[in-house]
Amino acid sequence: MSGKLLKSGMIVSAMTFVSRVMGLARDVIVANLLGAGGSADVFLLANKIPNFLRRLFAEGAFAQAFIPMLSEVKHQHSEDELKLFIARVAGTLGTLVMIVTILGVIASPILAMLFANGWFIDYLNGGPEAAKYELAALMLKITFPYLFFITLTALSGAILNTLNRFAVSAFTPVLLNACIIGAALWLSPQLTEPAIGLAWGVFIGGVVQFVFQIPFLRKAGLLVKPQWGWRDPQVSRVRKLMIPALFGVSVSQINLLFDTFIASHLQDSSISWLYYSDRLLEFPLGLFGIAIATVILPTLSNDHAKQDHQAFKQNMDWGLKMVCLLGIPATAGLIVLASPMLTVLFQRGEFTANDVVMTSAALVAYASGLLCFMLIKVLAPGFYSRQDVKTPVKFGIWAMISNMVFNVIFAWHFSYVGLAMATSASALLNAILLYQQLHRSQIFRVSRKTIIFVSQILLAALVMAGCLHWWQPSNQQWMAWDIKQQILALSACIAGACVIFVTSAIVLGVRPSSLLRKTADL
């Protein structure tokens, strides 16, 4: 099974890599177009709110409740019953999200007031950022319908993932990035306010992503006509699982929005600095952490449906090892190369050298929590796959409360960087609580061989980070070079770091076969 998981994980990672490269290209173009100033802050806010709800309704709570149920219906019922289940879930979810979307468009001024309170206060008092509030309310009317289309996209992606067809849903985000890039290059220059063109790019991207997946559902024989099914017993089970899952997923999203709320009261451009640092963090998190989570949830759900407890533990162990193998060196690389990477990617146009310095500080703080973010992606499915949503929700609420406390404390002393520090600290707490409960419930425990494996990876990453810190050019040298020299130097640093890490890991005893071999002492 580990070999199949590795193959599926590599497919998802490859598709995710294309998506993340496109995402970085999008951010480079947007940074060049808007910089880190007022218009950028408004666009990022207008994009963040529907994405917050997307993670609640679509990729988050819904997926965690729907995929385990879909696996159960697939293994225990006929194909006709499977199609009926999908039709009723699609009809019920689609109707509810359409209502939320319409209300969101109508109430966009209220949403802008709630999530950018600092701008709203200026709007009332005629302050310097009053125009931000008005623009945010307008742009939310354009971006909010994205929620409806991306929810249906997530539904079809969850169905395809359960059928082990991971590549389609992993590739789909490329289309959103392509639409935003197209809008930035061709639509925004034609408008008085370029950020509005980007908002239309988000809307069009949502439509294109949904339409793209329809032929694949038809080929799988699962393109069905939606039906209202609120009282259907299986839909009711999804709903009952989804309600606590909403609280769990909303924890991380509320943290992000609370960060935005506080950042709107801090110095100008704080939201943009946090966004661009988070976007760079999302590259390894999406490429490795989310790719592994995408594969492991349906796999663990199938193991649980078949009551194969040994396979369940082995697949959890595999996921943990993969996360550490990829997450530990990625953390070290992001911390050491934070400023050079931001310089190469963003320092041009309206994005200044000062923006690089300020963003790199936030990136270091975020990167310190990267491994914890990735661990949560593997540990939480250990509960979701067993249709236990309440446990990770409970721990998530504790993490949310701690994050809010950390936000107030750290932001007071470290401004916007404190918000990133608080996010990393709360992720550490969440990961610890999840693993402790898995161990206490005898669902999963880390094997002795995995502990040795992680120790070897940690030592290899420390060697890599030390060498990278020693040989990389100074910040002044990075900024003095032209873009070609910067790209060559950064590529050399990354390639050299990879060689040193792999060599060190092999010398310390790590072998590729350890990711394929079943662990005997689980």
Spatial separation of the C-alpha atoms in residues 367 and 381, rounded to whole Å: 23
Tokens describing residue 375: 């661990």
SS3 label, residue 271: helix
CA dihedral 396, 285, 346, 359 (to 10 degrees): 40
Query: Tell me, what's the pLDDT at 521?
Result: 44
Q: In this structure, are residues 95 and 228 in contact, taking their beta carbons and an 8 Å threshold?
A: yes
CA angle 27, 29, 35 (to 5 degrees): 80
Query: Tell me, what's the pLDDT at 422?
Result: 92
Task: Give me the long-range contacts of 358-362 (CB less than 8 A, separation at least 24).
Answer: 358/269, 358/273, 358/416, 359/36, 359/273, 359/276, 359/277, 360/277, 361/417, 362/273, 362/274, 362/277, 362/278, 362/416, 362/417, 362/419, 362/420
Spatial separation of the C-alpha atoms in residues 274 and 363, rounded to whole Å: 8
Distance of CA 7 to the CA centre of its chain: 21
Query: Tell me, what's the pLDDT at 6?
Result: 64
Considering only CA atoms, which of 217, 295, 302, 213 is closest in space to residue 11?
A: 295
What is the number of other CB atoms lying within 10 angstroms of the CB of residue 30? 31
Considering only CA atoms, which of 94, 83, 93 is closest in space to residue 224?
A: 83
pLDDT 10s digit of each residue in the chain, 522 long?
555 666 666 777 777 778 778 887 888 888 778 775 667 778 877 777 777 766 665 556 677 778 888 888 887 878 888 899 999 999 998 998 899 899 989 998 888 887 777 777 777 777 767 778 888 888 889 988 998 998 899 889 888 888 878 788 888 888 998 999 999 999 988 888 888 999 999 999 999 999 999 999 999 888 888 899 888 888 888 888 777 767 666 666 677 667 777 877 777 777 788 888 888 888 888 777 777 877 888 888 888 877 888 888 888 888 899 899 999 999 999 999 998 888 888 877 777 888 888 899 999 999 999 999 999 988 988 988 888 878 888 898 898 889 889 988 888 888 889 999 999 999 999 999 999 999 998 888 888 888 999 999 999 999 999 998 888 887 778 777 888 888 899 899 999 999 999 999 999 988 776 665 444 444
Query: Tell me, what's the pLDDT at 517?
Result: 47
Angstrom CA distances, 388 to 7, 76, 161, 391, stand at: 28, 19, 20, 6
| Entry field: residues in the chain | 522
Considering only CA atoms, which of 377, 390, 492, 489 is closest in space to residue 435?
A: 377
Spatial separation of the C-alpha atoms in residues 16 and 86, rounded to whole Å: 26
Query: Tell me, what's the pLDDT at 4?
Result: 63
Spatial separation of the C-alpha atoms in residues 108 and 46, rounded to whole Å: 9
In 3-state terms the chain splits into helix, strand, coil percentages (rounded to 5) of 85, 0, 15
Spatial separation of the C-alpha atoms in residues 404 and 397, rounded to whole Å: 11
Spatial separation of the C-alpha atoms in residues 6 and 513, rounded to whole Å: 11
Query: Tell me, what's the pLDDT at 522?
Result: 45
SS3 label, residue 40: helix
User: Tokens 């499977």 — which residue?
Assistant: 82
